[in-house]
Amino acid sequence: MAGPVSGSAGVNGHRVADESLLNDEKSMLDNDPGGMLRATASAGAQVREAAALAAEVDLSMLADEGRPRAVVVAGIGTAGLTGSILSTVAGPRCPVPIIGHRSAGVPGWVGAADVVIAVSASGRSPEALAAAEAAARRGARLVAIGNPGSDLEAVAERARAPFIGVPRRAPARATLWGLTIPVLFAGRALGIAKLAEADIAETATRLDADAERCRPGADSFVNPAKELALGLAGSVPIVWGSSPLATVAARRFADTLAANARYPVMAGALGEAGRGRVGLLDGVFGGLAETSRDIFADPADDADELTRLRLVVFRDGGLNPEDDADEPVAVEERRADAIQTLADRRGVRCDVLTAEGGSSLERLASLVAVPDFASLYLALAHGLDPMAVPAISEMKELSNPLPEGI
Ligand SMILES: O=P(O)(O)OC[C@H]1O[C@@H](O)[C@@H](O)[C@@H](O)[C@@H]1O
């Protein structure tokens, strides 16, 4: 296997994924100095800790004035994803619109009849801070979630708004569960999301069990995350979700594959993809790659050359008949079967993950846990530190205004 290369701009790694890098637990931990594997394995603990922290905060004032006109979940990156999770848990019959807002401030219509949930793992993102400030200015009910002692806590305090402090022990993207649970508590206090204690406990237990199956010491033939990562290696991953819940998990996988493993990914809802994006199965990375191959070429020669699509389908068996969704489960199921048939016809390999569990929170967790680990193993197989992402820091540096006087 070729050694690591130094790419332009000081980016180092192996161009071709090296499975052997996933065999030795100690060297994997050495190559993950920021502890992303450990942080990801703490998902179950994050759920329990965040539930305990959220339970200590009096959220009753959120419901004081009755049902809000709308709920805005403001935050960027992983914090922003919590808004989609709240929508999923609230379900298709939620009587109040839940709007994710992923840029600074709040939408222009937000006023005293609305609730703003401002989320930031660091408690420092300009987007969440501006949202909390704007909510307070406009007289909207506010709850803020993030790192204790942060600017966000100070804004909440000034606004006399509840603040749920979740200690930041890892980058935001490895703190998804610590941020999600308080957002769901706020949704429950508002009467728009059902969240039974048993659902929280079962979700935490499932995340623990998945972390155990995906632990660094478990070899790739018994470790579903290593298996998924190695299958995706060298491909262009396409991740489609069969239902709204599965689509949230698909988007999460795209985020972690891009940030941790630095792979280009397309992700979205299968229903919508079927009317447009599915066309990519016919192109140079899909069916055309198969037909254009020189049949006399040595397969070993083009193994590194030919970049192919790899489809990942997240299926949500839709176990909650009470959800009473607009689209019958059978339609989703047929569509998920169809895409697998189509991929097969084009010679595109396909991985399928099917949600498990009784509550929507647990089903979501069952589609997030293994892919989260897979994104880390894919990074490690390329010799990349899954935590330090130079492009994100450089992007921040380049887009920050110069200090005055320079
Ligand atoms: O959750 P906070 O701390 O506001 O960060 C929001 C986002 O910021 C970006 O710069 C990245 O670090 C993302 O991974 C993160 O989700």
Taking the CA of residue 77 as reference, the ligand 1 atom at the shortest distance is 16
Q: Does residue 388 share a domain with residue 294?
A: yes
pLDDT at 323: 54
Q: Does residue 262 share a domain with residue 225?
A: yes
Q: Mark 33-43 as b/e (b = at least 16 C-beta within 10 Å).
A: eebbbebbbbb
Q: Does residue 61 share a domain with residue 99?
A: yes
In a domain, 94, yes or no: yes
How many structural domains does the chain have? Answer: 2
What separation in Å is there between the alpha carbon of 124 and the centre of ligand 1? 9
Higher pLDDT, 128 or 7: 128
Q: Does residue 145 share a domain with residue 254?
A: no
In a domain, 241, yes or no: yes
Taking the CA of residue 173 as reference, the ligand 1 atom at the shortest distance is 14
Whether 301 has a pLDDT exceeding 80, the answer reads no
Nearest in space to 30 (alpha carbons), one of 374, 386, 371, 378: 386
Q: Does residue 291 share a domain with residue 386?
A: yes
Whether 389 has a pLDDT exceeding 70, the answer reads yes
Whose C-alpha lies nearest to ligand 1, atom 7? Answer: 77
What separation in Å is there between the alpha carbon of 120 and the centre of ligand 1? 7
Q: Does residue 353 share a domain with residue 250?
A: yes
Which of 125, 396, 400 to mutate for ligand 1's pocket (most ligand atoms within 8 Å of CB)? 125
pLDDT at 322: 53
Rounded to an integer, what distance in angstroms lies between the CA atom of residue 171 and that of residue 196? Answer: 28
User: Helix count (H) and strand count (E) of the chain?
Assistant: 17, 11
Is 121 close to ligand 1, i.e. is its CB under 6 Å away?
yes
Q: 284-288: long-range contacts at Cβ-Cβ below 8 A with a sequence spacing of 24 or more?
A: 285/236, 285/309, 286/346, 286/347, 286/348, 287/345, 287/346, 287/347, 287/348
pLDDT at 298: 59
Residues 6+ positions from 175 with CB-CB distance below 8 Å: 39, 46, 78, 121, 166, 168, 169
Rounded to an integer, what distance in angstroms lies between the CA atom of residue 253 and that of residue 91? Answer: 21
In a domain, 403, yes or no: no
Whether 163 has a pLDDT exceeding 70, the answer reads yes
Q: Does residue 169 share a domain with residue 77?
A: yes
The whole domain housing 136 covers 42-195
Beta strands in 272-395 (DSSP E): 308-315, 349-354
In a domain, 114, yes or no: yes
pLDDT at 212: 98
In a domain, 399, yes or no: no
In a domain, 83, yes or no: yes
Whether 317 has a pLDDT exceeding 70, the answer reads yes
DSSP tag of 257: I
pLDDT, one tens digit per residue, over 246-294 is: 999 999 999 999 999 999 999 999 999 989 999 999 999 998 886 555 5
Is 77 close to ligand 1, i.e. is its CB under 6 Å away?
yes
Structure tokens at 237: 């991953």
Structure tokens at 389: 């992402």
Which H/E stretch holds residue 396?
Answer: helix 390-399
Which of 82, 84, 122, 124 to mutate for ligand 1's pocket (most ligand atoms within 8 Å of CB)? 122
- CATH number for the domain that contains residue 283: 3.40.50.10490
Whether 345 has a pLDDT exceeding 70, the answer reads yes
Average pLDDT over residues 365-376: 98
Q: Does residue 244 share a domain with residue 191?
A: no
Q: Does residue 264 share a domain with residue 329?
A: yes
In a domain, 36, yes or no: no
